[in-house]
Amino acid sequence: MIVLGIETSCDETGVALYSATEGLLAHRLYSQVAMHQVYGGVVPELASRDHVQKISPLIQATVAEAGVTLSQLGAVAYTAGPGLIGALLVGAAVGRSLAWALEIPAVEVHHMEAHLLAPLLEPNPPNFPFLALLVSGGHTLLVSVEGLGRYSILGESLDDAAGEAFDKTAKLLGLGYPGGPAVEKLAAFGDPQRFRFPRPMTNRPGLDFSFSGLKTYAANTVRNTALDEQAKADIARAFSDAVVETFVIKCRRALRATGLRTLVVAGGVSANRMLRDGLDRLGHESQIRVCYPQLQFCTDNGAMIAFAGCLRWRAGARAPAGFTVRARWPLDETG
Ligand code: KG4
Ligand code: ZN
């Protein structure tokens, strides 16, 4: 009942072993961030090549750390999308080959479903149904979750994802890549009164998001301001406040509309302390339980893939004979 999980959808090579009876046995991550930093963002071709180099040693190290042998594996799960095609192909090819050689099933995992389920790795996990706010570098989704594979998308970003907006704003402020953690750090020193950024799409009904306007607002503010360290912090603070309040407003609206009593928040941006504080306040005020993954499982990792793969495997999922990976793959088409 042990599943090997492989994550290679973007710039992190993640590997983990999850046991259906004992939980997470081991997990390892190799981050390519340092390599991409000089380019200010992920270079897809470099990402694929680096996954090729890192994946096998990482699998060997993870298996050794868990104290198991490959022959004990029950299935191999890998991220089949959405993500960068070349990067996905590396994990898929390795995962499929290993499963074939070991004569065990391979299981395709949807990257955003894995993010969505990551809070269930924690002690005292939330029960279905719940509302999920997924905030990553590529996606921003509000999802009504009835159970495994039973997802209704209530809202999504019409343009930039929340993480992308953090990254672009960071670039405008001359901060490194990835921008989210850098903006968070700087925002802590910012004056919340100095600038006020708009709360996009909150003054009309609906649960969709739009973050590209915030980036433009940040660009205009940068242009019209003498950009010393304090001004950068003030802009980071105003941007973060706008993102957080927008999420609080939309989550409050979605909780009211659905009557759901649990909010699950996941994806890279869910590591943000200001966002957690804002949503915790909402939880307190609305008597709603709010759950997050532990910090290391907010951003991309192998543990969430092994865990989602294990749930899917036990529910009977098996990868089809021919193998495909998908750059785009709507979450509500996971079945
Ligand atoms: O989930 P993730 O690791 O990868 C995708 O599936 O896209 O999310 C990465 C995104 C990046 O845009 C990064 O800047 C953002 O999550 N992020 C943060 C924080 N940590 C990571 N954004 C805001 N605050 C953070 N602390
Ligand atoms: Zn991700």
CATH code assigned at 138: 3.30.420.40
pLDDT of residue 176: 87
Residue reference for tokens 């719940």: 130
137 and 284 both lie in a single domain: yes
Please state the rounded mean pLDDT for residues 159-179.
95
Distance CA 77, CA 96 (A): 9
> 98 to each of 6, 196, 321, how far by Cα in Å?
11, 53, 14
Instruction: Report the atom number in ligand 1 closest to the C-alpha of 298.
Output: 1
Instruction: Report the atom number in ligand 1 closest to the C-alpha of 179.
Output: 14
Please state the rounded mean pLDDT for residues 39-59.
97
Distance from Cα 275 to the centre of ligand 1, integer Å: 12
> Whose CA is closest to atom 22 on ligand 1?
180
Q: Which ligand is nearest to the CA of 164?
A: 1
pLDDT at residue 335 is higher than 80:
no
Lining ligand 1 with CB less than 6 A are: 10, 115, 136-138, 163-164, 166-167, 178-181, 184, 267-269, 271-272, 299-300
> 317 to each of 251, 269, 293, how far by Cα in Å?
31, 29, 24
Distance from Cα 116 to the centre of ligand 1, integer Å: 14
103 and 138 both lie in a single domain: no
Please state the rounded mean pLDDT for residues 234-242.
98
206 and 232 both lie in a single domain: yes
pLDDT of residue 177: 87
Classify residue 123: in a domain, yes or no: no
Distance from Cα 300 to the centre of ligand 1, integer Å: 8
Classify residue 87: in a domain, yes or no: yes
222 and 154 both lie in a single domain: yes
pLDDT at residue 120 is higher than 80:
yes
Distance from Cα 110 to the centre of ligand 2, integer Å: 10
94 and 160 both lie in a single domain: no
pLDDT of residue 186: 98
96 and 183 both lie in a single domain: no
Reading the block at residue 293, the tokens are: 């993954």
pLDDT of residue 74: 98
Classify residue 121: in a domain, yes or no: no
Please state the rounded mean pLDDT for residues 162-186.
96
Please state the rounded mean pLDDT for residues 306-328.
95
> 46 to each of 3, 214, 266, 312, 334, how far by Cα in Å?
28, 30, 27, 31, 29
Instruction: Report the atom number in ligand 1 closest to the C-alpha of 170.
Output: 14
190 and 277 both lie in a single domain: yes
**Residue 30 host element (H or E):** strand 23-31
pLDDT at residue 236 is higher than 90:
yes
258 and 187 both lie in a single domain: yes
Instruction: Report the atom number in ligand 1 closest to the C-alpha of 137.
Output: 7
Average pLDDT, the chain: 97
Assess contact for 11 and 47: CB atoms under 8 A: yes
pLDDT of residue 323: 81
What domain range includes position 89? Answer: 2-116+297-333
Classify residue 242: in a domain, yes or no: yes
pLDDT at residue 321 is higher than 90:
no
pLDDT of residue 322: 82
161 and 108 both lie in a single domain: no
pLDDT of residue 310: 98
Reading the block at residue 139, the tokens are: 């996606």
164 and 255 both lie in a single domain: yes
Residue reference for tokens 């994990």: 91
pLDDT of residue 172: 97
Q: What percent of the chain has pLDDT over 70?
A: 100
Classify residue 122: in a domain, yes or no: no
Check the CA dihedral 254-236-192-266 and report its sign: positive
Distance CA 294, CA 212 (A): 28
236 and 201 both lie in a single domain: yes
Assess contact for 52 and 92: CB atoms under 8 A: no
94 and 193 both lie in a single domain: no
If one counts the domains in the chain, the total is: 2
Q: Which ligand is nearest to the CA of 292?
A: 1
